[in-house]
Amino acid sequence: MDSRDVFPYQVVRDYDLFPLLTEEEVVGRVRQMSAQISEDYAGKNPILLCVLKGAYVFCSDLSRAMTIPHEMEFVKLSSYQGQQSSGEVQEHFLTHIPAERPVIIVEDIADTGTTIKYLAERLRSLGVTDLCIATLLRKPDQYRVEEEIAYVGFDIANRFVVGYGLDYMGYGRGLRAVYEMIDKNLGR
């Protein structure tokens, strides 16, 4: 199947998809991250807090490669409209987080860091003290908050990407690799 088949006609007409990370690269790196987290959190019984929607694929692969007991909770946040961050985070729901447990925030991508900062502060307000962040992707040129990220899969350039859980207008999450979306009229 061509990766573009999963997008509606309008998007296919306006954008090119450029492969950025292959499925093998992503899956290999996620396994390494799981191994590292399993080592660092041995005996600690952490909670993986999956940030919906984008992190569901990453979080699932991360969890299934882990070799230590852990639980999974979910939060649904949004800040993006199309390809632009609105700068404002909306929280749609947060499942139960016991304050005494170590929490690992699992994000698809750290862009400006607004979402991560919001969530870290929210968890601290609930009494969580043992907190860290794991993200598959990070755009270091864009990141402008103080929150430190303990686990980063890949640093990427400031481009809009889709696949492996990440969407454009709701589409493309099921793509197995990560693609850069290039506007045919504007180029990169």
User: What HEC string does 113-176 produce?
Assistant: CHHHHHHHHHHHHCCCCCEEEEEEEECCCCCCCCCCCCEEEEECCCCCEEECCECECCECCCCC
Amino acid 88 reads E
135 binds, among ligand 5GP, Mg ion, none (CB under 5 to 8 A by kind): none
Helix (H, G, I), strand (E, B) or coil at 87: strand
- Is 130 a catalytic site residue? no
Decide if residue 112 touches ligand 5GP (CB under 6 A).
Answer: yes
> Of residues 111, 141, 167, 183, which has the active-site annotation?
111
Contact letters for ligand 5GP, residues 139-178 (x by CB under 6 A): ---------------------xxx---xxx----------
Q: Is the dihedral of CA 7, 8, 11, 13 positive or negative?
A: positive
Min. distance of Cβ 110 from ligand 5GP in angstroms?
A: 5
Q: Choose from Mg ion, ligand 5GP, none: what does 114 bind? Cβ within 5-8 Å by kind.
A: ligand 5GP
Where does this chain bind Mg ion (CB under 5 A)? 51, 54, 108
